Amino acid sequence: MSRSPYELSAPPEVLARLHPRLRTYFGPVPPGHVGRGEGVFSVVGTPRRWLWPLLAVFARDGIMFPVWERDVPFTVENCAARVHRGSGTGLEARPAVRAHRTFHFRSGVRTMVDAITAEPDGLVDHLGRHGRVSARLRAQVDADGPDAGALRLVSTRVTFRALGRDLGLPAFLSPRVTLTERFDDEADVQRVSLVLAAPVLGTLYRYEGAFRYAVVPDAGPEGGR
C-alpha cells in the first residue's frame, strides 16, 4: 500500500495540519510491517445496562461489548489488507487498513475489529469481522486551539449490510460516531477518544485512553493476516 486510506480520501491541506507523531499512525503500513501499540483505556463501554443485551449482539462480530470498566489494558495492531465490497460483477477488493484492538477486561479478553477504506464517496470504516456495519467518516484537523494537530473523524452516515444491500437509518434515528486521535507531547503518548451517541438518547457507548505506537517489521505468526 503506497498511500493509506486517510491519505487517499482526506484533502492534503487537512493532513498537513496533523501532529507529526500522528502521521505514522495514519500513514501507510509498508509490506512486511505492522503497526503495534499498547496502552490503557481509562473507560470502556456504557453504564446503561439496559443496552447490554443489544451490545452482546454486536460483540459476536467484534464491534462493541456489554461492559462498563475502567483502567482496561489494551493492544492495537494495524495491518494492510483488502476489503471486498459491492455485489455481483461490482465486487472488488479495496485497499484498507485493518485494526485489531484487544481489550483485557476483568471478564476476559475481547477483540474489536474494523477496516478503514477509501471509497468513491470518502473514508468508510467497516466494523466487525464481517463488515456488516459501516460508517462514512468526515476527517477534520484543527490548525489551532486545544486540539490543534489532532484528527477528528465524525460519521455522516451509518449503514447496516443485509441481503447484499447497505441499509441506512433516517437522520433523526441514526447514531453518530466521533473519534478523536491526538498526541500528548508532555506525556509522550497518543490519546484516543470514541463516542457513539444517538438523538434523544445521548451517549450509548464510549472508550478513551492512551497508548504508544510504532510501525515495526512483522515477524509474528499472524503476519500477512
Cα 95–Cα 6–Cα 121 angle in degrees, nearest 5: 75
Mean pLDDT of 100-116: 96
**216 vs 82: which has the higher pLDDT:** 216
pLDDT at 196: 96
Mean pLDDT estimate for the chain: 89
Residue 24 host element (H or E) = helix 22-26
pLDDT at 155: 94
pLDDT at 225: 41
Q: How far is CA 222 from CA 33, 38, 218, in A?
A: 11, 17, 8
pLDDT at 12: 87
Scanning the structure block, which residue is given the C-alpha cell 500528548?
Answer: 184
Q: How far is CA 175 from CA 99, 117, 134, 170, in A?
A: 22, 20, 12, 10
pLDDT at 163: 64
Q: What is the pTM of this model?
A: 0.88
Least confident interval from 16-25, 165-174, 204-213:
165-174
User: Could you tell me if residue 208 is left (phi over 0), alpha (psi between -120 and 50 degrees) or otherwise beta?
Assistant: beta
Mean pLDDT of 167-188: 88
**156 vs 161: which has the higher pLDDT:** 156
pLDDT at 17: 94
pLDDT at 88: 45
